[in-house]
Structure 1
Amino acid sequence: MPRIEAVATRDAGPLLRVVYWFARRRFGAVPEPVAVSAHHPKLMMASGRHEMAVEKASKVLPANVRELAVYRVAQQLGCSWCVDFGTMLQRLDGLDIDRLKEIDNYAESAAYTDQERLAIAYADAMTTNPVSVTDEQVAELREVFGEKGVIELSYHIGLENMRARVNSALGIVDQGFTSGDACRIPTP
């Protein structure tokens, strides 16, 4: 249970009911971070607009590279909600979620491509405290993904750092978007 209770549908005003309807339609359930942030409607709406804009703008990197880097951040920071939701998003994108079991061994695992390994290592370096990204690492990423790709990857890793830390601070935990290898929430 989160540290701040989610706003129930019965307590929602007209705008929030629309937001909940949209979320249920898209994801099969209202994501708990949305329902908790509903206590501050202006920030909830700003966050929603931001998330949709980022999704629309993120077309440079292959989805598998971006999603694995985001998943790694969630896993490294221990945000069970982000891991749960991120696994569902990868499944809905048609990505292989079975290989997520091997992410701790990504450097040696045949389940990951060289591009994916670079992105996961970069996610690790951006998530450490202090940040441990090197010039060589960015140069290699730039060679593989281009400048736009490095910016996109950096942005997504930074954004997931924020999401995971906010969710963890508020006590938001996995919601059941995944259960073992299969999602309990149906494909929207």
Structure 2
Amino acid sequence: MSRIQPLAPAAAGSFVRLAYRLARRQLGEVPEPFAVTAHHPRLFRTSLRHELGLQRASHVASAPLVELAVYRTGRTVGCSWCVDFGEMLQRMEGLDVERLRHIDDFETHPAFTEDEREVIRLSDAMTATPMTVTDEQVTRLVAQHGRDGALELVYQVAHENHRARFNHALGITDQGYSSGDACRVPWATT
């Protein structure tokens, strides 16, 4: 149970209720971080606009690489919700999610390409405290993905750090997306 209860549809305004319906239609259930943020209407709208804008803006770096970097970031931070949701996104992209069981052995496991290893290293370096990103890492990213692709990858990892730390701080845990059977948000009764 999250530290701040999700906003129940009955207590939400019309915009939030519409957003809940759209999320349920697209994802099978309302994401709990979405429903917790809904308590703050301005923050909710800002977050929603940012997520949709980021989705529309990111098309240079390959989606599988972005999803892998985001997954690794959520896992490193310790956000079980992010790991659950990230696995679902990879499954929806038609990716081999079984290989995620070997992500700790990414340096040597044959399921990962050198390009994927580089992106996982970036995720690890950006998620470390303090960050350990090097000039050489960024140079390799730009060489491999172009300036815009490198910027997208760095931005996505930075944004996942934000999401994962937000969810983890509020005690938001996995919701069953990776199993394909997302569970309902436990709406507050008070």
Instruction: Assess if the C-alpha contact under 8 Å between 1:64 and 1:116 holds in 2.
Output: no
Q: Which amino acid aligns with 2:181?
A: R
Q: C-alpha distance in 2, partners of 1:40/1:185?
A: 24
Query: How far 1:13 sits from its partner (Å)?
Result: 2.1
Partner of 1:4: 4
TM-score by length of 2: 0.93
Counterparts of 1:173 and 1:97, CA distance in 2 = 20
Per-residue deviation, 1:10: 2.1
State the match for 2:64 in structure 1. Answer: 64
Q: Distance in 1 between matches of 2:14 and 2:122?
A: 42
Partner in structure 2 of residue 104 of structure 1: 104
Uncovered stretches (5+) of structure 2, i.e. residues with no partner: 184-190
Structure 1 residues 10-49: aligned runs within 5 Å: 10-49=10-49
Residues 66-145 of structure 1 correspond to what in structure 2 (within 5 A)?
66-145=66-145
Distance 1:132 1:13 in 2: 43
Residues of 2 paired with 1:117 and 1:111: CA distance?
Answer: 10
Gap regions ≥5 residues in structure 1: none
Letter in 2 for 1:3: R
**1:166 maps to which residue?**
166
CA displacement at 1:78 relative to structure 2: 0.4
Identical-pair percentage: 51
Displacement of 1:178: 1.8
> Partner of 2:186 in structure 1?
none
Runs of at least 4 residues of structure 1 off by over 3 A?
A: none
Aligned CA-pair RMSD: 1.1
TM-score normalised per structure 1: 0.94
Measure how far apart 1:94 and its partner are. Answer: 1.3
Deviations 1:72-112 (A, max 9, x none): 00000100000011111111111111111011111111101
Tell me, in whole angstroms, the C-alpha distance in 2 between the residues paired with 1:56 and 1:112.
27
